[in-house]
Structure 1
Amino acid sequence: MDALGALLTGPRARGAFLLRSVFDPPWAIRIQDEAPLTVLTMVRGEGWIVPDHRPAVRLGPGDLAIVRGPEPYQVADHPAREPQVVIHPGQVSTDPTGGELCEELHQGVRMWGERPDAEHVLISGTYQMPGEVTERLLRTLPTVVLLTAEEWRSPLLPLLEEELARDEPGQQVVLDRLLDLLLISALRTWLSRSAAEAPAWYRAHGDPVVGPALQLLHSDPGRPWTVARLAAEVGASRAALARRFTELVGEPPMAYLTGWRLALAADLLTGPDATLASVARQVGYGSAFALSAAFKRVRGVSPADHRTMSQAVPAR
């Protein structure tokens, strides 16, 4: 698997919060739900995404935005609008004074707002737990990724809108997978288009020496790699590979490999049947103890604590 493929295997929504919000101007929603990632698209009208301490981003009809959390932000019909609604963790909605609004704004199946035929319609899909979106993917993204309707169209958007209105057995699973596909498709387009914003390792894939080295590390992380062995595989000297890799990726090959192995371990540990020993073997550590020690040293928490946090069920 190439690095981009490995990155895009990460999104796996589990009971994602999907909603059609319907409002007439003026409107503004303060989002402080601490979710790791949210996908937003304007079906009708236009809006603005206003992150705290960052420039506002216009969201026109048919545009799609990916917003990286957990920092709060605002979505509104105008960037200077004061919020009338605040979204808290667990997708609890209140007015700015704390009064609950969930029942008052309910408009039917996955619809929320003022009236069904409102002037502005916004669809949102929220990954609520860190385990649903890998940390290595989140580190790749700026605060807001924007794809305009003119530069990117997807048949998944109308399909998602259609499925949101249904209330059938298994509907949540259908919506989860649609959200995953929509996010993956949008990310692939953004990464191929936005080389300047893409992470260094992604840009380095075009290098004739570093690109093949990255491919090897990503496809076989459990192999007992050394810089010398990696250099021999790609037909370069040890010194040349180490220098070029550090220059383009921003860290030495073995440091990058450690980070990649631990990122994979963090993902694998969220699996229901994963054991520390089996994960250690898959990512190149000789024992569960070795993986546990490295994991805690680099990430600051034990594998057991990471698993507990990732598998916690958010309040609904």
Structure 2
Amino acid sequence: MDVVSDAISAVRIGRPSSDRVRVGGRWCTRLAPYDGAGFHVVLEGSCWLLPDGGSPVVLGPGDAVLLPHGSGHVMADGPADAAAVERAVPFERLAAGAAARPQDGSGAVEVLCGKYRLDRSRVHPLMAELPEVVHLPNRAGTHPELRAAIGLLGRELDGRRPGACIAVPSLLDLLLVYMIRSWMDEGRTGAWPAVLGDPVAAAALRALHSDPAAPWTNQRLAAEAGVSRPTLARRFTALVGRPPMAYLTWWRLNLAATLLRDTGDPLSAVARRVGYGTSYALSHAFSREFGITPGRYRAQAAA
């Protein structure tokens, strides 16, 4: 696994959900804050996104927008004043009405709106530093993988093609990866695009995430990155915010939490998979990090 894949896998729960909405005329709808991440892809027409406490964003055909922290927001046919926002129709009602009365004509807007369920108790710093709104405009020559995924989604969304029930959730997962990757490629804000762009830090992280259970030492990791131990410690700590072995310990425990949540493996097997020699050693470290025993954590996650 690589850092981006691991950062997403650690927090993602279940399958994404989506609604394809086609509306026309004057409309304004509110999407409540959500314990996950929301997204919109404009398939046709244009509209406005008004984040709670943020600046309005104009969305055109092919534009994608990710709200990685589940912020509440309003979608509308155009600029909306405070009174219009106050009267905004809940999205669930708009979606039900739009499905019953599909809109035709040149003024129609078609948007794919969806959600990813996320476990926010153990968010990787890469995910945590994403801005409240990630706007990825449809500009020629930019983000070709994202554009291709949007095109494939548009063709699959009618649900009538063989295999669509598998293809659509898989494409939605792919869309999340491409939106995060596109944000990193633009590199406007955040430390993690710089982290993964640094050859030393990126090589060390790639090694740790590829085999977290290995008996890593600073010396072995420095050799993997092709630098001296002091150079690795200095560059890794400055960019990532913690020393290499401290990051490894943190990641091993987060990976253990994911395995406890998503599998029925006994604690001894989880310990071996994340680099702890005994169940006791893992339980002690886990309790110190999360303030809860692995067994109680697993029971709460299953509730």
Q: Percent identity?
A: 36
Structure 2 distance, partners of 1:278, 1:8, is 23
What corresponds to 1:98 in structure 2? none
What corresponds to 1:135 in structure 2? 123
What corresponds to 1:124 in structure 2? 113
Q: Is the 8 A contact 1:13 1:177 kept in 2?
A: no
Structure 2 distance, partners of 1:14, 1:174, is 15
Residue 177 in structure 1 maps to residue 170 in structure 2: yes
- Indicate which of 131, 141, 151 corresponds to 1:158: 151
What corresponds to 1:57 in structure 2? 57
Structure with more helix by fraction: 2
Structure 1 distance, partners of 2:164, 2:202, is 41
**Tell me, what secondary structure is at the counterpart of 1:211?**
helix
The alignment's C-alpha RMSD in Å is 3.3
CA spacing shift, 1:3–1:14, aligned 2, 3 Å: closer
Residue 190 in structure 1 maps to residue 183 in structure 2: yes
Structure 1 distance, partners of 2:22, 2:152, is 18
**Tell me, what secondary structure is at the counterpart of 2:35?**
coil
Deviation at 1:241, TM superposition (A): 2.5
Deviation at 1:12, TM superposition (A): 6.2
Unaligned runs of 5+ residues in structure 1 are 88-92, 94-100
Structure 2 distance, partners of 1:120, 1:232, is 55
Q: Is the 8 A contact 1:15 1:173 kept in 2?
A: no
Q: Deviations over 1:233-266 (max 9, x none)?
A: 4454433322222112222112211222223223
Structure 1 distance, partners of 2:157, 2:291, is 39
| Amino acid corresponding to residue 44 of structure 1 in structure 2 | E
Structure 2 distance, partners of 1:29, 1:208, is 45
Structure 2 distance, partners of 1:209, 1:293, is 32
Structure 1 distance, partners of 2:99, 2:224, is 56
TM-score (norm 1): 0.77
TM-score (norm 2): 0.80
| Amino acid corresponding to residue 241 of structure 2 in structure 1 | G
Unaligned runs of 5+ residues in structure 2 are none
What corresponds to 1:84 in structure 2? 88
**Tell me, what secondary structure is at the counterpart of 1:74?**
strand
Structure 1 distance, partners of 2:181, 2:289, is 29
Residue 226 in structure 1 maps to residue 213 in structure 2: no
Deviation at 1:23, TM superposition (A): 2.4
CA spacing shift, 1:122–1:232, aligned 2, 3 Å: closer
Q: Is the 8 A contact 1:281 1:287 kept in 2?
A: yes
Deviates most, 303-312 or 230-239: 303-312
| Amino acid corresponding to residue 72 of structure 1 in structure 2 | G
Deviation at 1:278, TM superposition (A): 1.8
Q: Deviations over 1:142-172 (max 9, x none)?
A: 2111211113352332332333222578644
**Aligned pairs, number:** 292
Residue 251 in structure 1 maps to residue 251 in structure 2: no
What corresponds to 1:27 in structure 2? 27
CA spacing shift, 1:223–1:152, aligned 2, 3 Å: closer
CA spacing shift, 1:242–1:19, aligned 2, 3 Å: same
| Amino acid corresponding to residue 115 of structure 1 in structure 2 | P
**Tell me, what secondary structure is at the counterpart of 2:152?**
helix
Q: Is the 8 A contact 1:213 1:234 kept in 2?
A: yes
Deviation at 1:62, TM superposition (A): 1.0
| Amino acid corresponding to residue 284 of structure 1 in structure 2 | G
Structure 2 distance, partners of 1:38, 1:23, is 19
Q: Deviations over 1:17-75 (max 9, x none)?
A: 21112223432222225231122111222222222222222222110111113332222
CA spacing shift, 1:13–1:240, aligned 2, 3 Å: closer
Deviation at 1:306, TM superposition (A): 4.6
